[in-house]
Amino acid sequence: MSATLFLIMEIIGTVAFAVSGATTAVKKNMDIFGVAILGLTTAVGGGIVRDLILGISPPITFQKPVYAITAICVSILIFLPAVRRFIDREQRIYYIVLLILDSVGLGIFTVSGIKTAYTVYPKSGMFLVIFVGVVTGVGGGVMRDIMADNTPYIFVKHFYATASLVGAFVCTFLWNRVPQVYAMLAGITATLVLRLLAAKYRWSLPKAGDLKQ
């Protein structure tokens, strides 16, 4: 995969996650600084954890500030009164778009983590690669929810982390069998489709409260 295409994919994922984080901050009535920080954390948090696991120092976010700058700009845009009024007026459309963007971002960052892991450790086993992919995909969202004083989304809502896990497995399984770009696209598609189907049909893993004696 060309460096340009990979950068475009990561920027799309950054925008998607920044919108998610900034929206959560707005719901919590945070000020503009809080909105920017929560959007930034959601967008780059998973990547920072990935880089710490892989021993990349300083993390890529600090080597290439384009991701952080993009996330902050998007977050400030969400904070603007005109945008918030549009969100309040067109909530159904907004949440559908947000669901799609968040699902795309989850898929993109999952395979991004896998690509980075293979770049740093070309001969690494599937466990490390899949683990890093999932952490990259869901890490920022976990940080967002903790900072917003919410139960992390991945523990209570639909097939979120599971979708990332399946997408990571698909991408890793195909990595040495087809061109990398096809393996990554397959991983993104698997994550996206499973995530959207889970949201539509309200698929969820069993919860502790469901197991009544």
- To the nearest whole number, what is the mean pLDDT of the chain? 91
Contacts 24+ apart (CB under 8 A), 30-39: 32/76, 32/79, 35/75, 35/76, 35/78, 35/79, 36/72, 36/75, 36/76, 36/79, 37/147, 38/75, 38/144, 38/147, 38/148, 39/71, 39/72, 39/74, 39/75, 39/78
Cβ burial of 135 (10 Å; 0-12, 13-18, 19+) is buried
CA–CA distance, 101 with 16 (Å, rounded to integer): 5
Extract the tokens encoding 88.
């309040």
Confidence at 201, pLDDT banded by 50, 70, 90: confident
Which amino acid is residue 16, in one-letter code?
A
Looking at 42-137, which runs of residues are DSSP E strands?
none
Q: HSE-up of 145 (CA within 13 Å, CB side)?
A: 13
Task: Compute the chain's Rg from CA coordinates.
Answer: 17
Residue with tokens 């067109």: 90
Helix (H) or strand (E) holding 37, with range, is: helix 32-54
- pLDDT tens digits along 84-122: 888 888 888 888 888 888 898 899 999 999 999 999 999
Provide the percentage of residues in the chain whose pLDDT is more than 70.
96
178: number of Cβ within 10 Å: 13
Give the CA distances from residue 108 to residues 78, 123, 186, 205, in Å, rounded to whole numbers and listed in that order. 22, 22, 11, 23
- pLDDT tens digits along 172-190: 999 999 999 999 999 999 9
